[in-house]
A and B are shown apart, each in its own frame.
Chain A
């Protein structure tokens, strides 16, 4: 088992962190979220061009870095902490879905060409790759260039977002830093990529682990923000962090961070090294991170006091991302029921 970052992983974390601090600071996140596209395409291009993040887990033969899921988790923790808007996570999900099928065309385009993609479920496909139906909610559905439709019978079907028969409508979203769309397919033509039940199951677990890594970043950033404030904000002649009412809550939040990080490292290790342990580790990560991330984001907002309730303060952005992430892959009760099944309860 490996729960501690290697030197290379610490270096990766350092370079993603400093890149995001300079290229996508919170002022940039706010500009992006209020822009028409919802994100800054040049940030996404530089993220890939300079750091190669979209190709991180793509095999080297397809132009990627051939890194593992533990490395991916390190990167996602940072993009989560920075509330990076745009299709990075959606494209990671799509990449994870494509990996077991080793689809050269799309994997090469994601790693080298900056192609963005998102996984779509709901519509059904025919054996000829003609897709019909409604996907009620698709993350980054408006900006992804390829829609990867997961069909129960025929596996994955890749549909160009601007293909005939595809209608995309923007939805209102709780989280302004990650948009969603409703997508209607009316006999839209796509390319069938074979899929297997085993590949789909593994993809679902890996997607849960990837999301948990993002949540770990959101959790950590929320805690760091309120810790910094507690050390400088004075009330009744004392720093608020010196009051036990505040300090004890922060200590409990730190305990959640310690356990959350341990769970994410373990799940990412299982993804790379111990596939048999992955389903349970992924379900555990989804359950624990969903709750812990939201609780810490909520408490960090509350501890800021009134200023944390304002639009101009960043606290609500973390709070909203945490809540949206908690239900991104389904209601928490579904993950809990799944874990109960895995434990044979």
Chain B
């Protein structure tokens, strides 16, 4: 089937199946199962683990069509964008068999357990411990900012297995059963009033030996793989809503502001220019990916630009709309929500400052910042917030 035909069929399927207003985890699971049955789940993932074994071209064609719909699969965005690709890249065949297909069929929701109260940007200073026990590990500690953990069945965990080693060399990646005894999930209310992320507590949680990803104490290199996928999935918008759903987008804003005013017109032009610039950059990255050039750390540039554009757009939208944007009836408040949610994109998945470090270090090959924490045993380091 040629790409145009593939695209046409994908669109026809979406028109038929992407029902407006479907919400909640049950709907998400049903929709993922339907996507799987129709062959639109894991389009470019290897066939033997449950994917369709097609190319990035089909994956991107489907994503392009899906942008015009609201797919109710937010609960799966972490699994599809980060955890699943990590298992495909780094897991054993047994692990791929166990976890990939159930993710793609909507049977297992995943979350990613990296950040901690004392380890955000500097995630390698995390303190959650995994200590060897019979047939595996015992985990104690605390994680935070964990999206969709309140629904999750499985979590991709980064824990410290060696405190004598320097911080990057004593970490191990494990898959944890979120329903296991000792796991407590508490939703956190964010500044927009939603509870999309959580804090998680581990109290003597047992993890079986076969849940180890990669090698013991080599968790940092596994985490780098996950984080690469994370930035690409954010900038590429896996499971995210399209511009159509964003009241601060150019398309929506032009409908509600007075374009007869030359200043308003020019500000809309600026929003359009910035939006198009990023769209075309993402399309170029996608074309390169299709041609076999993996964007790697350049995904961090796209993520940074998306964060800046989102904040610029929300800020501008309120300014253009005026006072009515900040006081509204029950059916209003879209722009207030947009400006309340906008900072999230500059923080989640790595702050703007961390993105600039990554672009500087890994894309531009600039000399690294001198560091005092790299070769010191973790137990001798200052971490978190201290007086």
Contacts and interface: CB of A to CB of B under 8 A. Distances in A.
B136 interface: no
A259 B366 contact: no
A265 B280 CA distance: 9
Contacts of A340: 265-266, 268-269
Contacts of A343: 254, 268-269, 272
B273 A255 contact: no
Interface in B269-320: 269, 272-273, 276-278, 280-281, 283-284, 287-288, 291, 293, 298, 301-302, 304-305
A272 to B, nearest CB: 16
B287 A255 contact: no
Contacts of A252: 356
Interface in B358-378: 359-361, 363-370
A155 interface: no
Given A241-B366, A345-B268, A258 B356 contact: no
B364 A227 contact: yes
A247 B355 CA distance: 11
A2 B287 contact: yes
Given A4-B291, A247-B357, A287-B273, A238 B367 contact: yes
A205 interface: no
B215 interface: no
B304 A4 contact: no
B48 interface: no
A252 B293 CA distance: 22
Interface residues of B, number: 39
Contacts of B370: 238, 242
A231 B367 contact: yes
B17 interface: no
Interface in A232-264: 238-239, 241-244, 247-248, 250-252, 254-255, 258-263
A116 interface: no
Contacts of B276: 263, 284
A259 B363 contact: no
Given A250-B366, A254-B364, A259 B356 contact: no
Given A3-B283, A238-B370, A239-B367, A244 B356 contact: yes
B366 A231 contact: yes
Contacts of A337: 265-266
B301 A241 contact: no
Given A242-B366, A254-B363, A288-B273, A259 B254 contact: no
Nearest to B280: A262
A336 interface: yes
A278 to B, nearest CB: 14
A316 interface: no
Interface residues of A, number: 38
A284 B359 contact: no
The residue in A4, A238, A243, A244 that gathers the most chain B C-beta atoms within 10 A of its C-beta is A4
B259 interface: yes
A230 interface: yes
A242 B266 contact: no
A220 interface: no
Contact of B284 (A4, A250, A345): A4
Interface of A: 1-4, 227, 230-231, 238-239, 241-244, 247-248, 250-252, 254-255, 258-263, 265-266, 284, 287-288, 333, 336-337, 339-340, 343, 345
Given A4-B288, A251-B364, A255-B359, 17 more contacts: A3-B283, A248-B356, A251-B301, A251-B355, A255-B301, A255-B305, A259-B305, A261-B284, A262-B281, A263-B276, A288-B277, A336-B269, A337-B266, A339-B269, A339-B272, A343-B272, A345-B265
11 contacts: A3-B284, A3-B287, A242-B366, A244-B353, A247-B356, A250-B366, A254-B359, A258-B302, A259-B305, A265-B280, A337-B266
Closest 9 CB pairs of A and B: A247-B360, A241-B366, A259-B277, A262-B280, A251-B359, A251-B356, A3-B284, A239-B367, A248-B356
